[in-house]
Amino acid sequence: MHSGPASRSHRVERAYPGRYLSFHLGCGAYGLDILRVREIIAMIDITPLPGTPDFVRGIINLRGRIIPVVELRRRLGIAAAADDDQACIIVVEREGREGSDPRLTGVIVDRVSEIVDIDADSIGPAPRPARGTGAGFISGVGRVQDTVIPLLAIDRILHAGEVAPSGGGAGDAVTEAA
């Protein structure tokens, strides 16, 4: 059976059989555990924050909750592109500190495709990490019909120490708000 997000640690995150949200970044399709997806929203105004890494676009107010927004293309080392009318924000839950509630973070993707079921026989191990920005961000590889979909290790991608800006003040706000 598919284990929930609370039972996974970013240190041992790996792909499990289950339902995945497939989406596109550039020419490639990727998958994200549907249990980690809180909602999908259209692009809205994002307030930039000084002192954040280049892949952190800024913060948004989502029904009174301030959450950071990450450009997934940049985080994965994929060439940046202008947002178009299909670009959207996937609001994901990432693991918080031990005993705390999950934290929310928005990730910008080019477009959302569909929800796919991937069984155990259709999931292979993640390729050995190559050097570079995206090393270790893939938890496995799913096969859906003739398509290969890298399954993202969202907690590794959104590791709080890297998503939050350095220094005090605003950095604490991004980390704590998420």
Q: Measured on CA atoms in the order 137, 103, 56, 40, is the torsion positive or negative?
A: positive
**pLDDT tens figures, 7-64:** 444 344 678 899 999 999 999 999 999 999 999 999 999 999 999 999 999 999 999 9
* pTM, full prediction: 0.81
Q: Say what the pLDDT of residue 38 is.
A: 97
Report all structural domains of the chain as residue ranges with CATH numbers, in order of start: 5-177 (2.40.50.180)
User: How many Cα atoms sit within 13 Å of 89 on the Cβ side?
Assistant: 23
Q: What's the CA gap between 74 and 139, in Å, rounded? A: 18
Q: Say what the pLDDT of residue 15 is.
A: 81
pLDDT of 70 over the 90 cut: yes
**pLDDT tens figures, 34-47:** 999 999 999 999 99
| Confidence class for position 102, pLDDT limits 50, 70, 90 | confident
Contact 103, 45 (CB under 8 A): no
32, with CB counted inside 10 A (0-12, 13-18, 19+), is buried
Q: Say what the pLDDT of residue 124 is.
A: 92
Mean per-residue pLDDT over the chain, rounded:
82
Q: Which residue has the higher pLDDT, 128 or 18?
A: 18
Q: What's the CA gap between 28 and 138, in Å, rounded? A: 13
Q: Which residue has the higher pLDDT, 16 or 102?
A: 16
